[in-house]
Amino acid sequence: MSTSGTDAVAVAVAPAKRPPINKYACACALLASMNSVLLGYGRFGCAHCSSLVGHRYDRADISVMSGAQLFMKEDLKITDTQIEILAGVINIYSLFGSLAAGLTSDWLGRRYTMVLAAAIFFTGALLMGLAPDYGLLMVGRFVAGIGVGFALMIAPVYTAEVAPTSARGFLTSFPEVFNNFGILLGYVSNFAFARLPVHLSWRAMFLVGAVPPVFLGVAVLAMPESPRWLVMRGRIDDARRVLQKTSDSPAEAEERLLDIKKVVGIPEGVSNADDVAAIVRANNKQGSRHDGVWKELLINPSRPVRRMLMAGLGLMFIQQATGVDCVVMYSPRVFERAGIKSKTNSLGASMAVGACKTFFIPISTLLLDRIGRRPLLLASGGGMAIFLFTLATSLHMMDRRPEGEATALGAVSIAAMLSFVASFASGLGPVAWVYCSEIYPLRLRAQAAAIGTGLNRIMSGATTMSFLSLSNTITIAGSFYLYACIAAAGWVFMYFFLPETMGKSLEDTVKLFGKDADDEDVGDSRRHGPSQKPSTELSAQQ
């Protein structure tokens, strides 16, 4: 008896064994996330261009040897102001791509939206590489920016909808990993083509960027469509086949299918294709009579939807308003203030920033489904605030000391900058995209994610394009003090407004933001009762 009791207790307290990573879902996530290589590679040249511009304004003799714009300036005879605009404007252009991707992904599907993203970026890379003057170069930048916006929005959404609950955080963080891989490819491209003649070097750097989209566009065609999009179109059998391949068990596949059908408005017992199609058509017509998704998101959102938007948009704002792109793009200026004067050392230190960012991102991907989203976000936000304050203080103290007498402070500032980048990469960087891809209900997910991505790009462009003017007005140390205050305020926001989503299905995460999300899509402001609506619609069709 005692032995039996002991065994029972042992069984009761034994931790549940984590299922192995679903290989098919992992392959889908990898292919989808490779679109983010376009973002990293497409924006890379601007990073060094911006650093170079900052040095020119600062009348320093340091320049970055890599970066296409170094050669463009000489070849096309363009000004520093034109280069600075080129540096940050892709973030504004990508806003339009993100918003368009929200519409396209609901219309064509998640998979074909990724193919479209690759095609658009391919066209943009060709236009930039073959541009004879600044005007056409800006046109190519616009087209590439649209492609970047498409890729940035659709990859996390697709991955979140395909991934099983046990590995959703891990798989949905892949886009940020590949984004930084694209940045490293940019470094390699610059080194490879820097010795070509001036009129060929920068063009080769851009034209090489047209190669990956070709392979990505073809590879994506081998991926399945999102099961949630298939259910929205009434394709239940197709969705079931995808779920059976991407779930941890057949039981989980059926459970996920039932949850998706529930939020779409298809009763559990309905399986006839004609009945399903009739219900889907009725739901779509009813949605159009109430101005659809945009009204439910922006004009007349329910209380849960308002809380979701506050959480998602707030997180996207904080991610970029803390100035991480400025730290990466203008790192040579910080290294110069820290006493690194040679071109080679400046380039090496700048690459250390990129390498640090790339190294720490996988750490968060491994921890997302083990310790949760909130602990990573809070630890990351707190670390960012502390290290930004340390960086600003060390730079401020260095400005008050004669050159050559602040070696220790220079080391502190470099360490603080690398620690800030590591804190961002191990939390807020990838986790923000994961979190914002899983908190919205199915019918609103694509459009809400598009709005969040658009805000993220606006803030990225605003911070990078204003950094030089801001640092000239309040000093570079003052700029980092400002970013430190934003990071501290962001920590408070994340602590009070972001619930934990780890271990919950996409259909269950919406319940964290309001009680009226229990029985149907919380975005539906057209509530007719908790359970009668689907059966009423079915009987009406019959």
Question: How far apart, in whole angstroms, are the C-alpha atoms of residue 91 and residue 464?
Answer: 9
Pairwise pLDDT comparison (116 vs 468), residue with the higher score: 116
pLDDT of the residue at 22: 83
pLDDT of the residue at 309: 92
Tally DSSP H helices, then E strands, for the chain: 26, 0
Taking every pair of C-alpha atoms in the chain, what is the biggest distance, in angstroms?
89
DSSP-assigned letters across all residues of 62-112: ---S--HHHHHHHHHT--HHHHHHHHHHHHHHHHHHHHHHHHHHHHT-HHH
For range 316-343, the mean pLDDT: 77
Least confident of 130-139, 241-250, 266-275, 367-376: 266-275
Structural domains in the chain, CATH included, are: 22-223 (1.20.1250.20), 229-278 (no CATH), 301-510 (1.20.1250.20)
pLDDT of the residue at 67: 47
Residue of 37, 242, 188, 257 whose CA lies nearest to 125 = 37
pLDDT of the residue at 45: 45
pLDDT of the residue at 285: 55
For range 198-208, the mean pLDDT: 79
Q: CA 197 → CA 64, 65, 201, distances in Å?
A: 17, 14, 6
Asked whether the beta carbons of 73 and 83 are under 8 A apart, the reply is: yes
Pairwise pLDDT comparison (185 vs 282), residue with the higher score: 185
Question: How far apart, in whole angstroms, are the C-alpha atoms of residue 246 and residue 61?
Answer: 55
Asked whether the beta carbons of 36 and 153 are under 8 A apart, the reply is: no
Residue of 157, 150, 139 whose CA lies nearest to 117 = 150
Q: How many other C-beta atoms can be found within 10 angstroms of the C-beta atom of residue 285? A: 9
pLDDT of the residue at 51: 42
**Per-range mean pLDDT, top range of 172-181, 186-195, 430-439:** 430-439
pLDDT of the residue at 318: 95
* Share above pLDDT 90 across residues of the chain, in percent, rounded to a whole number: 15
Q: CA 170 → CA 43, 320, 359, distances in Å?
A: 25, 22, 16
Question: How far apart, in whole angstroms, are the C-alpha atoms of residue 273 and residue 276?
Answer: 5
- DSSP letter at 15 equals P
> Residue 82 above 70 pLDDT?
yes
- DSSP letter at 298 equals I
Q: What's the pLDDT tens digit per position in 3-45?
A: 444 444 434 444 456 667 888 888 888 888 887 776 666 654 4
> Residue 521 above 50 pLDDT?
no
Average pLDDT, the chain: 76
**What DSSP element (H or E) covers 48?**
helix 36-57
Band (232; pLDDT cuts 50, 70, 90)? confident
pLDDT of the residue at 376: 94
First to last CA, the chain: 60
Q: Which two tokens stand for residue 186?
A: 């940019």
> Residue 187 above 70 pLDDT?
no
pLDDT of the residue at 335: 73
* SS3 label, residue 24: helix
pLDDT of the residue at 530: 38
Question: How far apart, in whole angstroms, are the C-alpha atoms of residue 101 and residue 433?
Answer: 16
With a CB cutoff of 8 Å and minimum separation 6, the contacts of 462 are none
* SS3 label, residue 468: helix
> Residue 65 above 60 pLDDT?
no
pLDDT of the residue at 212: 81
Question: How far apart, in whole angstroms, are the C-alpha atoms of residue 246 and residue 226?
Answer: 10
> Residue 316 above 90 pLDDT?
yes
For range 154-173, the mean pLDDT: 85
Band (314; pLDDT cuts 50, 70, 90)? very high
Question: How far apart, in whole angstroms, are the C-alpha atoms of residue 461 and residue 90?
Answer: 8
pLDDT of the residue at 50: 40
pLDDT of the residue at 225: 92
For range 306-334, the mean pLDDT: 86
Residue environment code for 136-158, b if the CB has 16+ CB neighbours within 10 A, otherwise e: ebbebbbbbbbbbbbbbbbbbbb
Pairwise pLDDT comparison (319 vs 156), residue with the higher score: 319
Phi, psi of 527 (to 5 degrees): -75, 130
Pairwise pLDDT comparison (387 vs 464), residue with the higher score: 387
Question: How far apart, in whole angstroms, are the C-alpha atoms of residue 397 and residue 481?
Answer: 13
What pTM, to 2 d.p., does this model score? 0.72
For range 281-303, the mean pLDDT: 66
Band (269; pLDDT cuts 50, 70, 90)? low
Band (537; pLDDT cuts 50, 70, 90)? very low
For range 343-350, the mean pLDDT: 58
> Residue 375 above 80 pLDDT?
yes
Least confident of 109-118, 260-269, 286-295: 286-295
